[in-house]
Structure 1
């Protein structure tokens, strides 16, 4: 499986791309591209990785991803359909000078940051409606709607910062990292040892630990923890299973360990998380 430095192809009659991707095109490897990305999940649920952030995604989630910020959307169940509306654009797609205007300072500030964010509450609903209009419109109206979207995102506080100024200096995402991530997505509910993943990377354990943290900005076991807690969150909100059963179904052998790690990631207990989403 080759790492992608993705090339976004635009229609020559348009300054940016707005498309709907559906399985299998929806599935992405660990990749990056110079274009900024605004993505609305239309179908499916699974795990999202943006920079060093790992969590779950579901229908109606909206993410804004800075250019050259590595990311990966992965369905949890291969047989389900995944679909998303995706807008790709560059910082200069409006031509030279527009973003230097005083009225564009909010958008300019948004695009200068190398952040990944998730939209929330009223902002999410407004941007969802705006993206659906962008998909249907053409020409000048389409361009103005994108500017309005970005101004709303830059001006609002109704968003969650997922990763801040994530720095990736390589031209290509390291294929060894992609191989490790792919293995982890497939086996995170199983017992995984450092010996296993170091062997996949063909490295000693100390070298692998340094290599992984340098590329993903967190330890391998913190990354594995995030995958498992993301899975637990989906089970907590999509079922009425006892929380103890969810603990074991999420790759944990100890309730105390699961409870501690869940609180580290979500800043609340599993029961509080379930109550918040089901209330």
Structure 2
């Protein structure tokens, strides 16, 4: 399933895009684009695929997507068969990294939001009060112009910069285009993981790559990724498994061992924990 690259139109008198997507169902195919994107579903239900993550959406669902992250929203059959008693509807915001100039994202006031943009490379599902606040702002933006519209986007940036109410979606392994502005130590650690995730990696081994003791490494890793090393390694392995499963030339047992799992039961358990479905069901779901 190859993603289509979209080039999005923009009004010449506006620095970023706000639009309503409405119809019997959401028509866009599996695609990606250079823009960062907020998607608020106001009506309809279905499933969304973001990178290698498959989740379900209904009214009020809000996600923030990084640049070049493939995604698609697939409505439930009642919409696809045009049997729903209302239209599918969503509000969307698109902006580029340089939508206010080359240096805008480097100003001190935007530092915390830059970190959020890094996280968005995996896709972020917003929840709780954060989602409620941002949803109310987005609902009003189609009728806004000028500084009112721009200041509302800045308010969203501020809310995003000060929240922990989100879930990351695509796995690190799937996201091939991300780059971290960090130390050489950090790059060595992530590089080692990506090259050796299919093998057993002990804490002592990976800590030595960063020239740290095990305790210092665990603290360092949790601060950078907001998950433990073991949790991160599992997401990398499952992300690679999703890629192999999509190729249809390996059975589930082969995929499990190629991704570093020593037994099929553990692979199935970890896959279902992260994807809410079995590897076999995931392979069937890719036929969208």
Same fold (TM over 0.5): yes
Find the aligned partners of 1:95 and 1:215 in 2 and give their Cα distance.
39
> Cα distance 1:264–1:104, how it changes in 2: closer, same or farther (>3 A)?
closer
| Conserved? CA contact 1:50–1:116, under 8 Å | yes
Q: Quick one: structure 1 residues 221 and 264, their matched pair in 2 at CA, closer, same or farther if it must change by over 3 Å?
A: farther
Q: Answer yes or no: is 1:27 the counterpart of 2:53.
A: no
The answer as to whether partners of 1:68 and 1:168 remain within 8 angstroms in 2 is no
Structure 2 unmatched runs, 5+: 178-238, 249-268, 277-288
1:84 pairs, out of 68, 90, 94, with 90
- 1:108 and 2:134 matched: no
User: Cα distance 1:262–1:96, how it changes in 2: closer, same or farther (>3 A)?
Assistant: closer
What is the CA deviation profile of residues 24-51 of structure 1, one whole-angstrom value per residue up to 9, with x for unaligned ones? 5732211000001100001110010000
In structure 2, the residue matched to 1:10 is 10
Q: C-alpha displacement at 1:151, in angstroms?
A: 2.2
Cα shift readout 1:72-105 (whole Å, capped 9, x = no counterpart) = 1001211233211000110110112222121110
In structure 2, what is the Cα distance between the partners aligned to 1:73 and 1:215?
A: 22
CA distance in 1, matches of 2:138, 2:159: 12
1:118 aligned counterpart, secondary structure: strand
Distance 1:12 1:263 in 2: 46
TM-score computed with the length of structure 1 as normaliser: 0.60
CA displacement, residues 119-138 of structure 1 (integer Å, 9 cap, x when unaligned)? 10100000001112322211
User: Shift in Å at residue 221 of structure 1?
Assistant: 10
Q: Give the Å deviation of 1:10.
A: 0.7
Q: TM-score, normalised by structure 2?
A: 0.59
User: Cα offset for 1:23?
Assistant: 2.1
Q: Which runs of 5+ in 1 are unaligned?
A: 170-212, 223-259, 268-279
Matches of 1:65 and 1:91 in 2, distance apart? 12
- Structure 2 distance, partners of 1:15, 1:146, is 11
Q: Give the equivalent residue in structure 1 for 2:141.
A: 134
What's 1:93 paired with? 99
1:266 to 1:50, Cα distance in 2 relative to 1, 3 A: closer
Aligned residues: 190
Q: Moved runs in structure 1, 4+ residues, more than 4 A?
A: 213-216, 260-263
CA distance in 1, matches of 2:273, 2:154: 37
CA-atom RMSD in angstroms: 3.2
- Report the equivalent of 1:65: 65
| Match of residue 212 from structure 2 | none
Name the structure 1 match of 2:46.
Answer: 46
Superposition deviation, residue 4 in structure 1: 2.4
1:197 maps to which residue?
none
CA distance in 2, matches of 1:112, 1:261: 25
Q: Is the 8 A contact 1:31 1:71 kept in 2?
A: yes
- Seen in structure 2, the aligned counterparts of structure 1 residues 7 and 38 have a Cα distance that, compared at 3 Å, is same
* 1:169-248 equivalent positions in 2, closer than 5 A: 216-217=242-243, 219-220=245-246
Shift of 1:143: 1.1
Question: Contact 2:36–2:96 (CA<8 Å) still a contact in 1?
Answer: yes
Note closer, same or farther for the CA distance 1:215–1:73 as it changes in structure 2 (3 Å cut). farther
The 2-side partners of 1:136 and 1:118 are apart by 25
Q: Is the contact between residue 25 and residue 75 of structure 2 (CA under 8 Å) also seen in structure 1?
A: no
* Matching residue of 1:173: none
